[in-house]
Amino acid sequence: MEEKRMIFDEGTELLDLAFSAELKVLAGFAVLCCLIFLPAGDVYFGGVLFLCVLFIPILIAGIVLLIKDPALLKRRIDGKEKEKTQRGVVALSGLMFLGGFLLCGFDHRFSWLPMPGWVSITAAVIFLVGYGMYAEVMRENTYLSRTIKVEEDQKVIDTGMYGIVRHPMYLATVIMFLMIPLILGSLIALPVFLIYPLLMAVRIGNEEKVLCRELRGYRAYKKKVKYRMIPFVW
């Protein structure tokens, strides 16, 4: 009887997790549709392409994580930052994306600087490469979270991509996010999205202070892997 109750509880928890993840995806999809298509005045190729390369992998990854690693999925949908610096980075990132998407839409509407379709397709391919890097990081590090925190049994990961740079997830997101305005066909909006790497530099600086303080072995890992995000550069 006890075993049946445990199975029932686990099944209920998975359903709740799946429902929470689905709500976040649907809300994100609705918000992005408004940000992309309303300023543009129509449903255009670049916008549809971006939504496809963004949300189809999200759905696939969500299903895989729900089956194989629900704990990691739960960490990924938890977005409540405790660190003051990180809350500031998240807020500024939100403003950056809002301004960037609006500028992309207006650029399409008024044809300020038209770009050929092959640029959008090429940028989409690079975006998916970044997604592949992101997936590899999640495979290597089951403690990966959207927020800066250290789990009780967390260990330093120093293999795979973590043996090259200390923050491969941020490298993947920078690659992906810099491709967004190009997928949407807007070179004018690219400078706005170039703010993102600077915000990630601030985030990394604060995150490493937390990790050095709370994660055993991280100081030694910093000496072993010298570069934070870009090999041979920084």
Domain boundaries, given as residue ranges, for the chain:
2-224
How confident is the model at residue 2, as a pLDDT? Answer: 46
The alpha carbon dihedral of 167, 172, 174, 177 has a sign of: negative
Task: State the first-to-last Cα distance of the chain, in angstroms, to the nearest integer.
Answer: 57
pLDDT tens-digit series, residues 134-148: 888 888 887 666 555
Question: Alpha-carbon distance 157 to 112, whole Å?
Answer: 46
Name the pLDDT band for 1 (thresholds 50, 70, 90).
very low
Tell me if 41 sits within 8 A of 109, measured CB to CB: yes
Name the pLDDT band for 152 (thresholds 50, 70, 90).
low
The mean of the pLDDT values for the chain is: 86
Structure tokens at 211: 């990790």
Statement: residue 67 has pLDDT above 50: yes
pLDDT tens-digit series, residues 177-213: 999 999 999 999 999 999 999 999 999 998 899 888 8
The full length of the chain comes to: 234
CATH classification (class only), 2-224:
mainly alpha
Residue 103: Cβ within 10 Å count: 21
Greatest alpha-carbon span in the chain? 68
pLDDT tens-digit series, residues 73-101: 776 666 566 677 788 888 999 999 999 99
Statement: residue 56 has pLDDT above 90: yes
